[in-house]
Structure formats: C-alpha cells, structure tokens
Structure 1
Amino acid sequence: MGALAPPFIGDSWLASPVYINPNPNPNPNRNSLRALSFASPLFARCSPASASNSNSASWASGERWAWARERRRGGGAAAAAAAVVVVERERMAGTGAFDEIVDGEVFKYYAEGEWRKSNSGKSVSIINPTTRKVQYKVQACTQEEVNKVMEAAKAAQKAWARTPLWKRAELLHKAAAILKEHRAPIAECLVKEIAKPAKDAVSEVVRSGDLVSYTAEEGVRVLGEGKLLLSDSFPGNERNKYCLASKIPLGVVLAIPPFNYPVNLAVSKIAPALIAGNALVLKPPTQGAVAALHMIHCFHLAGFPKGLISCVTGKGSEIGDFLTMHPGVNCISFTGGDTGIAISKKAGMIPLQMELGGKDACIVLEDADLDLVAANIVKGGFSYSGQRCTAVKVVLVMESVADALVEKVNAKLAKLKVGPPEEDSDITPVVTESSANFIEGLVTDAKEKGATFCQEYKREGNLIWPLLLDHVRPDMRIAWEEPFGPVLPVIRISSVEEGIHHCNASNFGLQGCVFTRDINKAIMIADAMETGTVQINSAPARGPDHFPFQGLKDSGIGSQGITNSINMMTKVKSTVINLPAPSYTMG
C-alpha cells in the first residue's frame, strides 16, 4: 500500500488516513478492526482522478483508492453510496495518541487536565462479552479523589462561564473533529467492551462527533438570544421597567451514561453542559468505560481548561451514591435502569434528566403494510441484540393479520447473522452473563406458561440467538419486563382498545409505535398511548439527536434532545432596569 495523505473532514485535514476500496468484496481480515464494513451517508466515493492527483508517493497496484471526504452534514445522492469497506491503520486502545491514558494494563482516570492513577491501588475489571475474559481494567477511584474532582470542577466552571460563547463552540467543534479522527480505536473499545458490531461501533463514534458539532452551533443560537420584557405589557403598569432575561449555567453537571451507548449518550450530556457554561464530571458505566475514557481524551486534546472536564471510574457501590449525593453537583443527567429512581429520591433540589428504559410497544392494525412492519420489527427489536431502550419490546398485533406477520418476521430472523461483533454480526453476545441469565429466566417463564417458540431457544455463553415468542399472554413476565436482549414477545389482540390498554398498563412510557395506512386512526392511537414519543409507521428510535426525547412514568424525568438538554442545563437570570420615569422611546 502506498504512502498516505490525511483525509479531509469538515474543513480541516486529519492526521490519519481513510481509504475507500471501490471493490465491495475485498474480504479483508474480518477478525480485525482494520476492516470496518458499513453503508454510511458520511462517506462518498471520490473519482479516480482525486486519487491520482493526491500527494501520495504510490498506490497499491491493481487497486483504485480514493480519499473520502466526510460531509459535516449527511445527505445527497453521492453520500448515500453503496456499502464500502474502510481500512485504517492498525490501532489499539491506549496506544498512539492515547498512550498517556493507560498505566501498564490499567486505564487512568481524568482529573484537573491530566491522567492519574488512583491512590486506592485497586482496579475494576471489564469483561469481554464475547470471550468472557478480562479485556481491560480501570482505576477504582476513592471518595477523596471524587472530592478533589468536584473542587476543581467548581473552580474551573467559574472561569468557563465567563468564556465567550463563540470560544466554547470553537473548542467543541475541535473536539468533534478529533473524536471522528480517532473513531477506529474508540470503535475497537466498543467492540471488545460491549460486543457492539464493528460497523455500528464506528457509526456511534461518527454520530457522536456530529452531535457535538451540532450542539455547538445550536448552543450559540439558543444561548445567544436574550429576552426583553416591558412592564407596561401587564395591566396597571407604565413603561418604567425593563426586564432582561438570559440563560446562565447551573454549575457542575454529573453525567452518567449507560453501557449500550457509552460514547454517544455521554457526549449527549457533555456537549450541552459545556456549551451552556457548566463544568462536567463523567461517571462512565463499567462496560464501556474504556471507550468513554478515549472519548474524554479527545476533549482533552481539544484544549479545554484544566478541571472543567473530569472522568472518574470505579464501582458504583463505592462511589456511585457518593457522586449523586455530592453537594458539589448542581445537575444530574442519567441514562440507565432502576438505579435512576433511587438517584431521583436522593438527589434533593437539583435539576434531573433521567431516561430509565421502556417496554416499547408496537401496535399493528389490519390495514398495515406487513412487509414494512416486519422489517421494522426486526430492525427495531433485534438491532444490537435488542440492547436499546428504544427497541421494540412487545408486538401487539390484530389477530386477523398475526399469522401473516409472524411468518414474515420469522423469515427475516432466519437471515440474521449470529456471531462475534468483529464479524459485523447482526446478533452479538449480550453485555454480561447476568444479563443473559435474566433473559433466559424470561424465556423459561414463557415456555412454562405456554408461549409458542417460533425458533429453538439457543444460547452459548452470553450469545443468545434471536427468538420470537408468539401467543404470549399478560400473565407471562416477558409481556411486561424489559429483556434487553434478542427475544421479542407477540401478543395477539382483538381490538385497538386492547392494544392501547396493554401499552398503557405498563409501568414504562418511553416510546411506542403504530402501523396503519389510516393516518387519522394513527393520530388517535398516538394521542392515547401514554409514552413520551410515538412513531407512526416506523420502529421506535432515539434520533435524530436534536429531536425531543423523553419518557413518562418510570421511563424518566425531563426531556432530552440537543436543544432541550441545553435549556435543561441552564437557569433563567432576570435583570430588571428601573427607570426614574416612564419611557416610550426605549424598547
């Protein structure tokens, strides 16, 4: 392979090369992240001329390589090219640009602008879901180290709040570019820590960079607009008072993302907090912690002030409650499970942003396009082995079309690739053995109570084959509990009202979806569903990331989405100018 020039990303050149091979079937070594196969609107093939005009000394004989220009915003026919294979230089976690974040075999924590070893002398092991062996280790931080992080964050935040908005945005754009540049080593961590398929791992990192850049731009817009109120707009007042309302930061934001999107759902908290003028303390999940540490290093390389961003690792049992109840925390943004309910009860008088899971129902009417429904059920219910808060968790289908739908779904499930994440399998191991055991418990309960198994239940270690359970009844656990795995129950209903009733009887209320050709009926059902979001003729989904995202009932508190998160991480400050006499020439 010839000498390399850096690829163009956004408006700048990056330090590492990206090749696009015009041959869609080169069959590179699939056991390495050097080969990342995916279809993405972020990559478009360049003309052969662009390769020949580059400054490269030579090109691999017999192969036509071109540089990939990554679009800052997706879209366009050229950007929607067919699947390509991206081949990057061999990189490993904690090497190259990331060599300072690891000490021997233990990754450091980040505080006051530097990477540190914990005084505890202890570490926390991260188990590879595929091999079920220790993959990485991270520091087990102490409560005293958390105290120092909070003190530094408070001091750094005061100066950061006085930093011009354009400068905050500039640093975020820089961090986004660095994050995208280093997508390969971060994706490698995601594959090894949480068994995320390689193509999805790369996609998560690129999406995260886009989210950071969009947040920078949106923050300038949202925070750059003040509000002027005039006193004489309220009855009985003259125009002798002018109220200037602006948004100011809360202080220190504690961000706690989940294992399934440890990079994307971390930056969805980090970027809004920073653009709003807050300091940020990240407590990453154990599974996904090393990917998060690499992501934090990208912010470090961008040049943010010391102490403004911190990342502490360790066992939740040792520092979890200490963090969430710390008096130095002014806001908590949490994504996860039932732990969030406990946090909300202990947090006190601070703003909370909580997303706690769901039992997302898919209601299918008689007139639905069953091919469309089947495709969305498989994608929505089984992507990343069902380990998504917005995954389809229960199908509520009208009896008259149930047989036909189940047949179509089964046909698609039979085509899914099951295996290790390095091979871009559709179904990969679930994150922990305890998760697999929990899923198996739901399956066993359904079997004992008479559910129809559309496939044979199969499990090897943490790897569970996709399973559709038909004729599920409300007395089965799987009808109500969130499996967070590749198992999906089908409940046959006789009326729309029955489907709505089942949906609303759940303790959760994150998302739901309805499939019908009758838009009036779809809107009626959407209005009746007690969920934060309802998708019409599409599976539940979190994105695009600037859309509002919220849950009802036990699914959460507050609303996410870029704009909502920025607003949530600020408070309104009013400054009233009192005039000695009414003035109708100002304002």
Structure 2
Amino acid sequence: MIAKQFIDIKSPLTDEVIGKVPAMSREDVDEIIQRAKNGFKIWRDKPLHERVEYLYKVAELLLEHEVELTSLLIKEVGKDQKSAKSEVVRTADLIKFTADTAKNMHGQNINADSFPGGNKGKFAIIKHVPIGVVLAVSPFNYPVNLAASKIAPALVSGNAVVFKPATQGSLSGSFLAKLFIEVGLPEGVLGIVTGKGSQIGDYIVTHCDINFINFTGSTEVGNHIAKEAKMVPLLMELGGKDAAVVLEDADLDLTASHIVGGAFAYSGQRCTAIKRVIVVNEVADALAEKIKEQMKKLKVGNPVEIEGTLDVVPLINEGSADFVEGLIEEAKIKGAKLLCGGERKGNLITPTLFDYVTTDMRLAWEEPFGPVLPIIRVNSEEEAIQITNASEYGLQASVFTTNMHRAFEVADKLEVGTVQINNKTERGPDHLPFLGVKSSGIGVQGISYSIEAMTRIKSTVINL
C-alpha cells in the first residue's frame, strides 16, 4: 500500500504542521482489512499466555518512549505537560492490567440436570471466543489511552484490529499502534487506517469483513455509525451533559473544588466533564461564590509558552472555539448572569461561569466541549432530578450531599450510567465499568467488560 496523498496535521497551539498521515483510499482500506482477516487466522490460535506477553512488552516499550510521546501529545492535541505524561503512564498501566485480567478470566460448565427434565449425562462447556476483525475508532482528546482501551482488550481476546484514529490525534495514536507492531505481532493483526472520515468513514464501518465496531466520539457520528452498521455489534462511548446535583446539606467547599476540577481540566474537552451545576436555591448563592473563588486558581495558557501544569488550554480547533463562543453569546442574550470569563483569544477561551441559566438556553442542554459552566437553580431535589433526566444524554452525574442515605436515593433515580457521590464525574480507574445510557453510548467498557464485549460465547454440549 502506497498512499498517494497525505494530510497535514497542525498543532492547535501554534498552527504549525507537525507531521503528515496518509489519506488512505478505499482500496487501501480493503488491503488492510484483508491483512487483518489473514492475521486473525493465525492470532486466534495463539495460546493466551503468548498473547499477554505481547501486551507486557508493549507496556514496557511505551514507558521507554514516555518523553517522546508526551511531547507529541502536547503538540498534537494541546495537553499540558502533566496531563500528557499522565496519559502515557496510565495507558501503560491499562495495557498491563488488561494482560493480567485476561489470564484470570475463565469459561464455565453448566450441568443440564439443574433444569427440570435435564439429565446428569448432559452438560455444556462455555467459552469466550474472538469475534474476528475489530474496528477501533478513537477520538482526539485521549488519542493514546482511548486507543489502547480498545486495542489491548481486542488483541488479548484473539481478535485482529483495524485501528482508525481521529485525524487530529492520528500521530499520537499511530505512535502507540506502531509500538504494538514493533513487539512482533503477526503480519496484519493490527492495521492502521488514517484519512478523513468523510471520505472513508462510511466505507469502513459498512465493510463486510468488519465484525465488531468499538467507537468513541460524538453522539452525532455514533448515531450515524449505528444506522450504517446494521447487524454488526457495537461498543460506543458518546457524548455527555454530566450534571453536578448539589443539595442543601452539601459540603460546599468540597463541592466547589470538585466541580471546578471536573468542569475545566483540559478545557472541558472530555465527555465526562461536569457540564452543568444543578443546585437547590437554599445554597445557590454560596455555591456560586465558592465556585467563582475556586476558578481564580485555574491556570490558563498555551503549553508551548508556559511550562508546568495548565488547566485551560486552547481548544482543539477554531470550529470548537466558535461553537463554545456561540453558546456563551446566546446565554448572555437570554439573560444568564456572567460571573467570570467569557473572553476569547484565538482558540483560547477563558474559564467561564454563568449563573441563572434557564432551560430555554442551549447551554443548559448542549455539550460544549469547552471551558464554560452553567449554574441552574432549582426549588427542590425532585426538580434537580427532573432536569438531570430530561437530557438526551446519560453518561454520568455527581450528587453532593452529606447524607449517604439520601445520596443513594437520588443516585437510584438518575438516568445515567454512573453516579459519583461527593466527587467530580470522571472516567476510571480503567478497570471499573464505564457506560452511558440514552444518547451517551452502547455497551459497557472497562478492562474485563471490554474483553467480554469483544468476544462471543460458544457453547459445546456434551452428551454422555
């Protein structure tokens, strides 16, 4: 395969070209998928103890390249030094834990005589077997970690993988994938596809030789893939509008600290970022003031100009900044009270806090993927639950209260995949279940859950 065209990858921090990736054609995609099919026939028959050794080697190699990959993440997706390094180290841990987990997952025997009419001479041996060729599609915001969270469980299960990184993030994602290849995976077991989704996206998700799709990205694209893929099984992590529900008995200092950390880290460019605060009126004034004070501690700037830890950095591209700015301007026009921020320089938007946001404003419902946080005041716990559940999304929510009995009652009523009690919404640790309901996803991720998702049960019934 020789690519005839290439895509320039520009840094969101400097607008300079930092690398190129092939703009692959449909013929290129066909070739890579055919190699994966051939590689799968070899890989699925390798003993598990051999497959896990490849993963251990990749984890070691990843740490050896920590400095290089950290630098690339900063340049390509605009992360600060601390966040970029953390992603590399966390990914190495994820890969090692995936290997450990796979070694301790077992099949099952089911005796037929436990069911009325069954006889003692019949029993079923249940195994998890690989599905085939897995299409793994990763997003820009965690191009290493969210690539590995798909690739490692798929490979250790005996599948072959065709990896399609987001165009912005494809240098970092390809760096990781090449480490997998470097440790000696059989030919074709892991293939890398790069190119514009508008040109090859539909072709690859509807390809007759793709057996499973593992996608992280926007709900809009996820819905489109689900329609196009038809009967192909899916595992999807999509958008969110995660709410922090604050009750009148909450520890407001703790609450404000977690809300600010959850809303503004990496400029809010995370599906699990806190994207709205729903607070009862009794403590709304005090909480708003405490959030505002906490926001003064945020470090804002460009990672290529300022060393160290930064919370708010330039957004990934101009279109993202335009979208966030539009939400801010609409909230102003409709009467929301701007408490701080709201300024823009290039793609850098200062951390922005609005109070008195109402449900007729886009900011109450749309996912900004940027550093803007609305406060929605409510009269009761019941109203807070109603507004939280009215969202099309259902990824995570936080509940802040000092009454644990009440916290569990509220948590049970929230229509989300995960509820955090007295903590910010967040992904991880990576072995915990991670899922969304409604428009936030399909299936369950997390190391053991991902392994199970990318295998199928095969039952062999023995008759003695």
Aligned residues: 460
Match of 1:394 among 276, 282, 301: 276
**Could you tell me which residue of structure 1 aligns to residue 210 of structure 2?**
329
- Determine the C-alpha separation between the residues in 1 that align with 2:184 and 2:16: 36
2:240 maps to a residue whose letter is G
Q: Structure 2: which 5+ residue stretches go unaligned? A: none
Structure with max Cα Rg: 1
**Could you tell me which residue of structure 2 aligns to residue 540 of structure 1?**
425
**Could you tell me which residue of structure 1 aligns to residue 77 of structure 2?**
194
- Residues 553-562 or 419-428, more deviating: 419-428
Q: Structure 1: which 5+ residue stretches go unaligned? A: 1-115, 580-587
Q: Give, in angstroms, the shift of residue 539 of structure 1.
A: 0.6
Q: How far does the alpha carbon of each residue in 1:357-384 deviate from its partner, in whole angstroms, 9 at most, with x for none?
A: 1000000011101110111011100000
- What aligned pairs does 1:78-89 form with structure 2 within 5 A after superposition? none
- What aligned pairs does 1:505-584 form with structure 2 within 5 A after superposition? 505-579=390-464
Match of 2:60 among 165, 169, 177: 177
**Could you tell me which residue of structure 2 aligns to residue 361 of structure 1?**
243
SS of the aligned residue for 2:457 comes to strand
- Determine the C-alpha separation between the residues in 2 that align with 1:478 and 1:117: 46
Match of 2:148 among 260, 263, 267: 267
1:279 maps to a residue whose letter is A
So what's the TM-score if we normalise by structure 2? 0.98
- Determine the C-alpha separation between the residues in 1 that align with 2:25 and 2:326: 36
More helix by percentage:
2
Q: Give, in angstroms, the shift of residue 323 of structure 1.
A: 0.8
Match of 1:306 among 187, 194, 206: 187
Aligned-CA RMSD value = 1.0
**1:159 aligns to 2:42 (yes or no):** yes
SS of the aligned residue for 2:322 comes to helix
Q: Give, in angstroms, the shift of residue 137 of structure 1.
A: 1.8
**Could you tell me which residue of structure 2 aligns to residue 350 of structure 1?**
232
Match of 2:333 among 436, 448, 469: 448
**Could you tell me which residue of structure 1 aligns to residue 8 of structure 2?**
125
- Determine the C-alpha separation between the residues in 1 that align with 2:263 and 2:451: 30
- Determine the C-alpha separation between the residues in 2 that align with 1:430 and 1:300: 32
Contact 1:130 1:463 in 2 (8 A): no
- Determine the C-alpha separation between the residues in 2 that align with 1:416 and 1:541: 18
Match of 2:104 among 185, 207, 221: 221
**Higher RCO (C-alpha 8 Å, min separation 6):** 2
1:533 maps to a residue whose letter is T
- Determine the C-alpha separation between the residues in 1 that align with 2:299 and 2:434: 31
Q: Give, in angstroms, the shift of residue 242 of structure 1.
A: 2.2
- Determine the C-alpha separation between the residues in 1 that align with 2:263 and 2:444: 23
Q: How far does the alpha carbon of each residue in 1:424-474 deviate from its partner, in whole angstroms, 9 at most, with x for none?
A: 322100101000000000001000001111114211111111000111010
What is the identity percentage for the equivalent residue pairs of Structure 1 and Structure 2?
52
Contact 2:341 2:353 in 1 (8 A): no
Q: Give, in angstroms, the shift of residue 135 of structure 1.
A: 2.7
Contact 1:189 1:288 in 2 (8 A): no
1:172 maps to a residue whose letter is L
Q: How far does the alpha carbon of each residue in 1:533-566 deviate from its partner, in whole angstroms, 9 at most, with x for none?
A: 0000001111000000100100011110111100
1:233 maps to a residue whose letter is S
Q: Give, in angstroms, the shift of residue 117 of structure 1.
A: 4.2
**1:432 aligns to 2:317 (yes or no):** yes
- Determine the C-alpha separation between the residues in 1 that align with 2:33 and 2:379: 56
Q: Give, in angstroms, the shift of residue 127 of structure 1.
A: 2.2
Contact 1:187 1:291 in 2 (8 A): no
Contact 1:355 1:557 in 2 (8 A): yes
2:411 maps to a residue whose letter is A
- Residues 130-139 or 181-190, more deviating: 130-139
Match of 1:457 among 342, 357, 362: 342
So what's the TM-score if we normalise by structure 1? 0.77
**Could you tell me which residue of structure 2 aligns to residue 320 of structure 1?**
201
Contact 2:139 2:217 in 1 (8 A): yes
- Determine the C-alpha separation between the residues in 1 that align with 2:41 and 2:281: 61
Q: Give, in angstroms, the shift of residue 296 of structure 1.
A: 1.1
- Determine the C-alpha separation between the residues in 2 that align with 1:577 and 1:264: 42
Q: Give, in angstroms, the shift of residue 237 of structure 1.
A: 2.3
Contact 2:144 2:173 in 1 (8 A): yes
Match of 2:371 among 477, 483, 486: 486
